Amino acid sequence: MRAVNLRRLKALCRKEAYQIVRDPSSILVAFVLPVVLLFVMGYAINLDSSHLPLGLLMEDHGPAAVQFEQALKASGSFTVETGVPREQLIQQMTRGNLRGVVVVRSDFGAALAEGHGGAAIQVLTDGSEPNTASFVGSYVETIWETWQQQRGQNQARMDTLPIDLRPRAWFNPSTLSRNFLVPGSIAVVMTVIGVLLTSLVVAREWERGTMEALLATPVTKAELLLSKVLPYYLLGILAMVLCLVVAVLIMQVPFRGSLGALFVLSSLFLGCALGMGLFLSTVMRNQFNAASAALVAGFLPAMMLSGFVFEITTMPLALRLLTRLIPARYFTSSLQTLFQVGTPVSFLAGNALGMLLLTTFWMGLTTLKTSRTLEAK
Amino acid sequence: MNVHRPAPQPEADSAFQPARPEAVAIEVKDLVKRFSPEGSAALNGISTWMKPGGITGLVGPDGAGKTTLMRTLAGLLAPTSGTVRILGQDPLPDGPLREQIGYMPQKFGLYEDLSVQENLDLYADLRGVVGEARRESFERMLAFTDLARFTDRMAGKLSGGMKQKLGLACSLLGAPKVLLLDEPGVGVDPISRRDLWRMVRDLARSGMTIIWSTAYLDEAELCDEVRLMNEGRILAAGTPAELMGAMLGRSLHLTNLAAPRRDVLQRALRAPEVMDGVIQGDNVRLVVRTAGQWPDLEPLQAGPEAALVEVAPRLEDAFISLLGGGPGGDSPLAVVTHAVILPGHTNQDAAIEARNLTKRFGDFIATDAVSFRVAKGEVFGLLGPNGAGKSTTFKMECGLLKPTSGQALVMGIDLKQSPSEARQRLGYMAQKFSLYTQLTAQQNLEFFSGIYGLQGEAQRLKMEGMIQAFDLGPWLSQRTLDLPLGFKQRLALACSIMHEPQILFLDEPTSGVDPITRREFWTHINALAQKGVTIMVTTHFMDEAEYCDRIGLVFRGKLIALGTPDQLKRDSITPDCPHPTMEDAFIHLIQAYQAERTEVAS
């Protein structure tokens, strides 16, 4: 008997397509969820800080100190609270209402006038949130340096810093975090579609007793598997197109790579995700368990270990090695590259190879575990 | 006459089978199936054959191995040892044999989100029915199943009977030579069941070999041949006539009773001559151990007019006899239960009452203006197919669902107004027992007595009483999951009556249970009724309905008939059917109701 009979495969795929179209939850997961997630991650999660609450304690009220105060307020990075006694500022810090306190000492003006670098400000930051603390520290430092420079220019004296620092960010010149978060969130969205949707489909057949009826017909194993992969692959590609359109046209994220490369890499990624989802579904035979496992094994690693939120190079070695098993890691990196850089083939080929190996692994495992009888293998 | 009794050694199964004909459609030899190496065998040495053409019934309770055998025949399970041959071939490997076998699993195997036509298309494609043959067979199937009007309807929106017909149509595509139907009659209304029988009869007449598995012994009586199964073995094989013939002269009716039927049954089961007995409408039905040796009437105290009359044996009698006879009629519950005394102001005729009880789910009316009263100490049955609304009615009566309109009263207390006061007096045993399967028997008893407010010495005494009454002692530290079915059922009953409820609700308490365990259960229920507990029960076993004092027939949300079983049967006598069974009565009443409705409509 041939492994695949086209008439049977077509019939099974058509059945699967009807089920997708008629099940509101699959449409929700495939087309509504991506848009919602993209907007949430692209706009709500913002790693650029502005208007951080900052306390300012002015012990010197000389003209220089007042000028510095104005520079702080004008920077846009902080909402400055001033004119309050020290104790109250410290209390506010403790409560978490202030992210930092800047102290301008009473000898500030005098030390500045002396002019050999003795003038200093004290910056206290809230170390319980290290990220924000370092933002506050570096922002204040930048403002301080800029203010010093301007002051020097205004006074026409060339005692400013010896180095002229002009930072230029490559690939994402505006350093807008959205530009790198959106490609990352597309990878998360595709993981949800690939793993979650398919984790339900085989289990559903077992739960409803239709698998038993299918297995009693001349259907072959290859037909069964293909009929689950093909429709959901198509659905995944459609969702990918939707994500791309939303990201580029609505969210104005630039896309610099080639569409062909995007198609190839997306297909490879869907291979891993569908394989994993089908595997869970085949082994669990229960929709609830399979969906829970899909969230833990698919969604969480895609969020945390893909380099989407947390930088992989700063992880401990064990975790870094673990990320190599997470398909989303390769896909996140590929998407960020395609969107922001272009199509550096040699770099993308590495990612493609990683995903190809994982696809082979998950699909192979699913094939092994798919049984032609009712007994689990 | 050719009767086949079990030999003491099950290996000798084939010895008491009827002579094997020359040509067989299915041959099974020494079939053993275990799902785990250390577990017990689901099939324990089955050897049998099925002749080509005709209907062979696989009959037995849940856990007998019917479904496992069916699935092995369909090539869905591999035997642990032994051989299976269908039309001379092994059904397991992929091969052309699959096109010769039609198989309908228990849930019919339909895609609920596909329409009738799309389901047919799918299975036609899978079974390779194409071109002209396809058009022809669709036409034939749709006419045969009377589904032509519904081709666009989603399978999930079909009634149980229509789903069953569609499932049958799908398994018939490609004209298989062997048709395997796994419990096709479960939960379907009797009219649809009869339709299905007619259809399957036609197929058998055309030469198809049909295997029909069922837990209903009355259904099995209609098969050409039966294989009685229990605990993975075949107890007996033969035609229903052969098997029932062995019981000739042993089935009796005790009629014209003047004393309460339950008391008479209890006394009759004490007689050494009596092997088994049940209540059947106004009579008590007895089976004696030896033909001709009838019990003495005197100690039964059945009344001056009471008489024993010989009646036709049933397949169930043969089955019980093969299993070694029924349990006795005395329930130890009678000793530990106090007689129920309802509060003085309560109307003794209305321990349970429904007044125009209505429940709507959206625009669907699940229960439509249902009214009835159940007297103290009465056993009241709600009978109806799945989806008719009996469970909804039942759940409103015990306070688990709020009525849309109308009133559900228990001892005069409106369940809407003071549910907790009423609930303390109710016992409820849900379908499938609803015990905590991970807890031990002891822990379940503790938990359920605890939530009904028993504690300290009272709790300890009550638990001891239940453990004694139900003989649960040796099982106390077992996980409930691992208890044998009969003990699970006892434990569930114990848990629901520990707080001595005055009213007991039983939702399909015996579905899937073997006849002996069912009898034992009813012995307990009868004992409770004798103590004055009011009992409301739902069932889809027709014979079980006859154990009730009165039954209400529920159909499409309406209570279409109400009366004692014998009244309903009498009302259904027609020239064509002078001695209606409960099922005949059910069908007659539904048809009469529908005819009346059409008259009103036109």
Dihedral angle, C-alpha A273, A279, A285, A288, nearest 10 °: -30
- Average pLDDT taken over every residue of chain A: 86
Nearest Cβ partner for B76 among A12, A220, A373: A373
Which residue do the tokens 């649809």 mark? B192
Pairing, β B379-383 against β B550-555: parallel
Query: A210 CA to chain B: closest CA distance, Å?
Result: 4
Task: Give the residue numbers in A contacting B (CB under 8 Å), as ranges.
Answer: 1, 7-8, 10-12, 14-15, 18-19, 22-23, 208-210, 212-220, 372-375
Residue environment code for A254-280, b if the CB has 16+ CB neighbours within 10 A, otherwise e: ebebeeebbeebbbbbbbbbbbbbbbb
Q: What is the DSSP string of B363-424?
A: TEEEEEEEEEEE-TT-EEEEE--TTSSHHHHHHHHTTSS--SEEEEEETTEETTT-HHHHHT
Q: Parallel, antiparallel, or unpaired for β B352-361 and B405-410?
A: antiparallel
* Cβ-based contacts of A10 with chain B (< 8 Å): 125
Angle between helices B456-469 and B485-497 (to 10 degrees): 140
User: In this structure, is the dihedral angle defined by the CA atoms of residues B395, B398, B403 and B406, taken in order, positive or negative?
Assistant: positive
Number of CB atoms found within 10 A of residue A283's CB:
19
Q: Say if residues B554 and B388 touch (Cβ distance below 8 Å).
A: yes
Search chain B and give the residue with CA nearest A10. B125
Name every chain B residue with its beta carbon within 8 A of the beta carbon of A371: none
Could you write out the three-class secondary structure of chain A?
A: CCCCCHHHHHHHHHHHHHHHHHCHHHHHHHHHHHHHHHHHHHHHCCCCCCCEEEEEEECCCCHHHHHHHHHHHHCCCEEEEECCCHHHHHHHHHHCCCCEEEEECCCHHHHHHHCCCCCCEEEEECCCCHHHHHHHHHHHHHHHHHHHHHHHHHCCCCCCCCCCCCCCCCCCCCCCCHHHHHHHHHHHHHHHHHHHHHHHHHHHHHHHCHHHHHHCCCCCHHHHHHHHHHHHHHHHHHHHHHHHHHHHHHCCCCCCCCHHHHHHHHHHHHHHHHHHHHHHHHHHCCHHHHHHHHHHHHHHHHHHCCCCCCCHHHCCHHHHHHHCCCHHHHHHHHHHHHHHCCCCHHHHHHHHHHHHHHHHHHHHHHHHHCCCCCCCC
Max intra-chain CA distance, chain B: 78
Amino acid (1-letter code) at residue A162: P
Chain B: closest CA distance from residue A244 (Å): 31
The predicted pLDDT at position A47 comes to 59
Interface probe, candidates A217, A221, A372, A374, chain B, greatest B C-beta count within 10 A:
A217
Q: How far is the C-alpha of A43 from the C-alpha of B221, rounded, in Å?
A: 71
User: Searching chain B, which residue's CA lies closest to the CA of residue A22?
Assistant: B113
pLDDT at A116: 61
Give residue B13's pLDDT. Answer: 41
Sheet holding B178-182, edge to edge: B101-104, B178-182, B209-214, B54-59, B225-230, B233-238
**Quick one: closest CA in A to B33, which residue?**
A375
Residue (of B62, B69, B61, B18) closest to B43 by Cα position: B69
For chain B, which ranges sit under pLDDT 50? Answer: 1-15
Contact A209 B106 (CB under 8 A): yes
Nearest CA in chain B to A13: B122
The residue among B37 and A169 whose pLDDT is bigger is B37
Closest residue to B109, CB basis, from A209, A373, A375? A209
pTM (2 d.p.): 0.81
- The whole-angstrom separation of Cα B164 and Cα B187 is 10
CA gap B447, B445 in Å, rounded: 6
What's the pLDDT score for residue B3? 43
Q: Alpha-carbon Rg of chain A, whole angstroms? A: 28
Q: Look at strands A78-82 and A100-104 and give their pairing.
A: unpaired
Three-state secondary-structure class, residue B99:
helix
Among B43, B72, B113, which would you mutate to test the A interface (most chain A Cβ atoms within 10 Å of its Cβ)?
Answer: B113
Residue of B nearest to A204 (CA): B111
pLDDT at A322 over 50: yes
Neighboring chain B residues of A215 at a CB cutoff of 8 Å: 76
Residue B183 distance to chain A (closest CA, Å): 14
Instruction: With H, G, I as helix, E, B as strand and everything else as coil, classify residue B78.
Output: coil
Decide if B76 and A374 are in contact by the 8 Å CB cutoff. Answer: yes
Mutate to test the interface with B, among A9, A201, A205, A212 (most CBs of B within 10 A): A212
Instruction: Nearest by CB to A212, from B109, B118, B128: name it.
Output: B109
Structure tokens at A56: 């300012």
**Chain B CB contacts of A206 below 8 Å:** none
Q: Angle A178-191/A259-284 helices, nearest 10 degrees? A: 40
Backbone torsions φ then ψ of B331, nearest 5 degrees:
-105, 125
Residue of B nearest to A213 (CA): B109
Distance from CA of A192 to the nearest CA of B (A): 23
Angstrom distance (rounded) from CA B321 to CA B319: 5
pLDDT of residue A168: 66
Which residues are within 8 A (CB) of A34 and not within 5 positions of it... i.e. 6 or more apart?
A: A186, A189, A193, A239, A242, A243, A246
B119: closest chain A residue by CA: A15
Across residues A171-182, what is the average pLDDT?
A: 71
Cβ of B94 within 8 Å of Cβ of A209? The answer is no
DSSP designation for B340: P
Q: Which residue of chain B has the CA closest to A224?
A: B126
For chain B, how big is the Rg over CA atoms in Å?
25
Q: Which of A201, A210, A224 is best to mutate for the B interface (most B CBs within 10 A)? A: A210
CA dist list (Å): A22 to A14, A15, B114, B244, B310: 12, 11, 9, 52, 59
User: Hunting for tokens 């086949």 — which residue is that?
Assistant: B4
Q: Which of B222, B182, B144 is nearest to B66 (CA)?
A: B182
Nearest-CA residue of chain B relative to A12?
B122
CB contact under 8 A, B77 and A373: yes
| pLDDT at residue B507, as a whole number | 87
Mean pLDDT of A71-94: 84
Q: Are A58 and A270 within 8 A, CB to CB?
A: no
Residue B20 amino acid letter: R
Distance from the Cα of A291 to chain B's closest Cα (Å) equals 20
Residues contacting A187, CB < 8 A, separation 6+? A269, A302, A306, A308, A328, A331, A332, A335
The β-bridge relationship of strands B251-255 and B307-310 is: antiparallel
Amino acid occupying residue B126: L
User: Residue B12 to residues B23, B89, B233, B236, B244: CA-CA distances in angstroms?
Assistant: 22, 24, 11, 11, 22
DSSP B601: H
Position A357, amino acid: L
If residue B218 lies in a helix (H) or strand (E), which one and from where to where? helix B217-220
CB B351 within 8 A of CB B249: no
Handedness of CA B449, B452, B457, B458 (dihedral sign): negative
pLDDT for position A293: 94
Q: How far apart are the first and last CA of chain A?
A: 22
Q: Which of A8, A22, A372 sits opposite B126 (nearest CB)?
A: A8
Minimal Cβ distance to A22: which of B94, B113, B171 = B113
Q: How many CB atoms lie within 10 A of CB A47?
A: 13
Residue tagged 């990352």 (tokens): A184
Contact check, Cβ <8 Å, B105/A18: no
Disruptive mutation site among B70, B103, B111, B179 for chain A (greatest number of A CBs within 10 Å):
B111
CA distance B178 to B62: 24
| Residue A363 pLDDT > 70 | yes
Q: Measured between alpha carbons, how far is B164 from B158 in angstroms, rounded to an integer?
A: 9
The CATH code belonging to domain A52-154 is 3.40.1710.10
> Are the C-beta atoms of B6 and B16 separated by less than 8 Å?
yes
Contacts of A209 in chain B (CB under 8 A): 105-109
- B555-566 residue pLDDT tens: 888 999 999 999
Nearest chain A residue to B97, by CA: A218
Q: Shortest CB distance from B76 goes to which of A10, A215, A218?
A: A215
Please indicate whether, in this complex, the C-beta atoms of A15 and B118 are within 8 angstroms of each other: yes
CA distance A223 to chain B (A): 10
B553 forms bridges with which residues in the sheet? B383, B561
Residue boundaries of the structural domains of chain A: 6-45+176-369, 52-154
Burial zone of A244 (CB within 10 Å; 0-12 exposed, 13-18 middle, 19+ buried): buried
SS3 state at B92: coil
- Indicate the SS3 state at residue B312: coil
Residues belonging to chain B with any Cβ–Cβ distance to chain A shorter than 8 Å? 35, 71, 74-78, 92, 94-96, 98-99, 101, 103-114, 118, 121-123, 125-128, 130, 170-171
Determine the pLDDT at residue B193. Answer: 83
Which residues from B are below 8 Å from A376, CB to CB?
none
Which chain B residues are closer than 8 Å to A214 by Cβ?
109, 126
**Which pLDDT belongs to residue A49?**
63
Q: Distance, in angstroms, between A193 CA and closest chain B CA?
A: 21
Distance from CA of B402 to the nearest CA of A (A): 29
What is the nearest CA distance from B76 to chain A, expressed in angstroms? Answer: 4
Closest CA to B147 of B123, B129, B125, B165: B165
Q: How many CA atoms lie within 13 A of B16 on its CB side?
A: 19
3-state secondary structure of B178: strand
C-beta separation of B539 from B545 below 8 A: yes
- How far apart CA B527 and CA B329 sit, in angstroms, is 9
A276 closest CA partner among A210, A347, A202, A339: A202
Residue A82, pLDDT score: 85
A217 with B106: Cβ contact below 8 A? no
Question: Using CB atoms within 10 A of its CB, is residue B198 exposed (0-12), middle (13-18) or buried (19+)?
Answer: exposed
What integer pLDDT is reported at residue B125 of this predicted model?
94
- pLDDT of A147 reads 84
